[in-house]
Structure 1
Amino acid sequence: MVNHVVVIGGSYCGLGITHRLLKNRSRIPDLKVTLISKNSHLYWNIASIRAIIPGVVKFDELLQPIEPGLAQYGPGNAEFVVGSATGVDATAKTVKVATAEGDRDVPYDYLVIATGAGCSDESMPWKADGTYEEILDSIKKMGEKVKAAKHITIVGGGSTGCELSAELRYEFKDKTVVLLSGTPELISGDAAAKAIEKELVKLGVEIRKSVRAESTTVLPDGRTEVKLGNGETLITDLYLGTTGLTPNSSFLPKDFLQPNKFIDVDEHFRVRTAENVWALGDVVSRPNAAYLHTDPQSAGVAKNIEAAIAKRPQQIVKSMPFSAIVCATGRDRGAGRLGIVPVPSFMAWALKGRTLSIERAASYINGSHW
């Protein structure tokens, strides 16, 4: 009897689960894994903040096809379905998928939901939420806007906003880059906030804290009028929002979800209201939405699926043993911390800023990362 695992979501967590299970199929009897992904490619969205600068990032490195990496396991062991999950029937144990060829129902014995989250502003390309064509088109169009703009306003003083403002000022010394943070300190007052702010100031980013964008209006000349919470009005050539995440969970049964629409899981990352269903990554955002959590979570969930097949007890899924933040501030510097230990600029550059880890994408595709 086939043990059919269906994974929804072809980004970091989904690929981590898929490859981990398939690489260990010798100890999992009669295993088949089906990966369902809206995007035919892995989008290394960590590099999105650099990819919108024309000519800096190669698109064939940023977006790499998923299917060739699964072909190594054979058609009877792995299947790749390009399409959008539109529904889950937990009683019948099926996933409804809209594909280019039409709708189909994919049956499962074990289900993993790793659909991530999208940007609150859907026009922004920071998250892996869309098809290959949609994401590539979004990045190219954003690059054209960035190149043409003289004044750029970035809303959101979190990691994405800080890194984006740094990338833009690093590349374009002749552009005015304004970073608006709704909180009194960047990165919500994290211990690394002062060091990150210092790097941004060196680059010439204009930082305004405790200021929120209340509304925006596109003017007849194409510029954007931004009304701020303090009553001021700001006119900018290009408005880039980096705040807010919307979990990609609208296709799921309501009893899978918390009131905020993120999936409700237990300490084993099992969905509380369903049998043999797990969820992880940004669609759960536990303890928060961050790339650093994806690997330990996918490792833990893969072990729990294997345990469920073998009828062994579930194990608690652990995340990073300490909190960390590493912020790239351009292509030759950075700042951050590992636990309570500050990260020197050269180390932040080596860990992240140098390439934004885009060289790892190939290992996610072929499974050698695991």
Structure 2
Amino acid sequence: MAKTVVILGGSLGGLHVAHALLKKGDKDLKVVLVTKNTHFYWNLAAVRAIIPGQIKDEDIFKPLESALSRYPAESWELVIGTASAANFDNNTVEVVISADNSSRTFSYDHLVLATGARCPSSTVPWKAMGSYDEAIDNLHTTTARVKDAQSIVVAGAGSTGIEVAGELGYEYGKTKNITLLCSGDQVLGGTSAASAAANELKKLNVNIKYGAFVKESRPNATDKNKTDVVLADGEVILTDVYLPTTGLIPNTEYIPARYLSADPNYRTVLVNDFLQVEGTKNVWACGDVVSKPRAGFFITQKQAASVARNVQAALAGQEPAVAKGPPVDIFACSVGRDRGVGRINDKIKLPSLMVWLAKGRTLALQMIPGYIDGSVA
């Protein structure tokens, strides 16, 4: 009897799993990929795409149809919609279809949760926040605002904030006022790459303001085109463009609460060592919805591969295997278009040239074809 695997999410984790399952060529398996975006979005390059003229839309947005159409038509279905409710007891998931706002119920033998996470602000393009048209419009709007601005404030000194500030400093450090707000006393949470990152930003004329925790942002009362960034200590910074990079919100609202972590502000999916959702036998999760041990590209890749193997094993009546993560914890952060910082296991610092070669030079755009032709899996 034919089996159905429903995958929620068509980004890094979900598409990886879909390819891995479909490449097996099992005629008794159908893969249903549910995603709100018709295109695969290489959001790793969004930090550079906001600089006018650097990256074309077609370089970071690829139609998902082109990724799946290489497989027999009867073996897959691409559903453009958003999961609204999952019932793990009944093996069903409700999906709101984007085209007409109707609702469809999908039954599954196995379910993969790969819906990722979103930015708290809907005005930044670090994640695809909605449909393809919405994502493109958001990116174009941000790029236009960056081009016209004289002052830009980037909030959050984690990896995304460092990369955004670095790209802005590289392009505009001598012509615009670029400020990076860091809530603590060191960028990158004080890891071993912190001082190197700060030094590289200073070379690019980025002003780093420490101890600056953002309380709120609001349109300026006099000029609605400008933004007041209000800090916890009461200071107000007036800027032309405000780019928050702080925090992520897991897209887990459709999942019953008993399968989620207790943190009300960061409700990730609870999984065991097999990346099997706790309390289930046929529901799996990977990527930012798990954030275990942390959110990250290489971690998502490894998790997706493990989930695919375990789903394949379960379909064959075999036991799952413990999920494998990266052999070492590697962190790499580009700082502008010709520099970077990084570390291995928070002890071994990576040379700037090595980080540039591995990431900063292209922001891994050369990896996109693997997600389209399936060679990633």
TM-score range, shorter chain: over 0.9
1:259 to 234, 237, 262: 262
Q: How does 1:311-330 map to 2 (within 5 A)?
A: 311-330=317-336
Shift of 1:156: 0.2
Q: Which whole-Å CA distance do the structure 1 matches of 2:116 and 2:72 have between them? A: 27
Q: How does 1:166-245 map to 2 (within 5 A)?
A: 166-172=166-172, 173-219=174-220, 220-221=222-223, 222-245=225-248
- Displacement of 1:122 in angstroms is 2.0
**Counterpart residue identity of residue 210, structure 1:** G
Amino acid at match of 1:59: D
Q: Which residue of 2 aligns with 1:51?
A: 49
**Alignment partners' CA distance in 1, 2:327 and 2:185:** 28
Asked if the contact 1:212–1:229 (Cα under 8 Å) also holds between the matched residues in 2, the reply is yes
Amino acid at match of 1:306: Q
Q: Structure 1 segments of 4 or more deviating over 3 A? A: none
Q: 1:360 aligns with which of 347, 367, 377?
A: 367
Deviation at 1:147, TM superposition (A): 0.9
CA distance in structure 1 between the aligned counterparts of 2:71 and 2:8, rounded to whole angstroms: 18
Aligned-residue offset at 1:203? 0.6
Q: Which residue of 2 aligns with 1:145?
A: 145
Tell me by how many angstroms 1:174 deviates.
0.3
1:127-174: per-residue Cα shift (whole Å, max 9, x none)?
133211111000000111111110111110100000000101111130
The answer to whether the 8 A contact 1:255-1:273 is kept is: no
Structure 2 counterpart of 1:349:
356
**Gap regions ≥5 residues in structure 1:** none
> Aligned with 1:67: secondary structure?
helix
Contact kept, 8 Å, 1:11 with 1:128, in 2: the verdict is: no
* Map of 1:23 onto structure 2: 23
* SS across alignment from 2:82: strand
Q: Quick one: which amino acid aligns to residue 259 of structure 2? A: F
Q: 1:195 offset after TM fit, Å? A: 1.1
Residue type of the partner of 1:31?
L
- Decide which of 263, 282, 288 is 1:282's aligned counterpart: 288
- CA distance in 2 between counterparts of 1:369 and 1:215 reads 41
In 2, Cα distance between equivalents of 1:341 and 1:86: 44
1:237 offset after TM fit, Å? 1.1
Shift of 1:196: 1.1
Partner of 1:321: helix, strand, or coil?
Answer: coil
In 2: Cα distance, 1:129 partner to 1:289 partner: 17
**Unaligned regions of 5+ residues in structure 2, if any?**
none
- Does structure 2 conserve the Cα–Cα contact (< 8 Å) formed by 1:156 and 1:180? yes
SS in 1 for 2:217: strand
State percent identity of aligned pairs. Answer: 41
Equivalent position SS for 1:230: coil
Superposition deviation, residue 231 in structure 1 = 3.3
Farther off after superposition, 59-68 or 121-130: 121-130
**Rounded Cα–Cα distance in structure 1 between residues aligned with 2:295 and 2:338:** 26
Aligned residue identity for 2:116: G
Q: 1:299: Cα distance to partner? A: 0.9
Report the Cα distance in structure 2 between the residues aligned to 1:227 and 1:240, rounded to whole angstroms. 13
Q: Give SS of 1:305's match.
A: helix
How far does residue 341 in structure 1 lie from its aligned partner after superposition? 2.5
For the 8 Å contact 1:178–1:208, the answer to whether it is kept is: yes
CA separation in 2, counterparts of 1:19 and 1:81?
Answer: 16
Give the alignment's TM-score, normalised by structure 1: 0.96
Aligned residues: 368
Q: CA deviation at 1:80?
A: 1.1
Q: How big is each residue's C-alpha offset from its partner over 1:162-202, in whole Å with a ceiling of 9 and x where there is no partner?
A: 00001011111301110011121111111111111111111
Distance in 1, Cα, partners of 2:116 & 2:151: 32
- Worse overlay, 330-339 or 177-186: 330-339
What's the TM-score, normalizing by structure 2?
Answer: 0.95
Cα deviation, 1:286-309, whole Å, max 9, x if unaligned, reads: 111111111110111111111111
- Mean Cα displacement is larger for which, 338-347 or 327-336? 338-347
Report how far residue 123 of structure 1 moved.
1.7
Q: What is the rounded CA distance, in whole Å, between the counterparts of 1:229 and 1:163 in structure 2?
A: 24
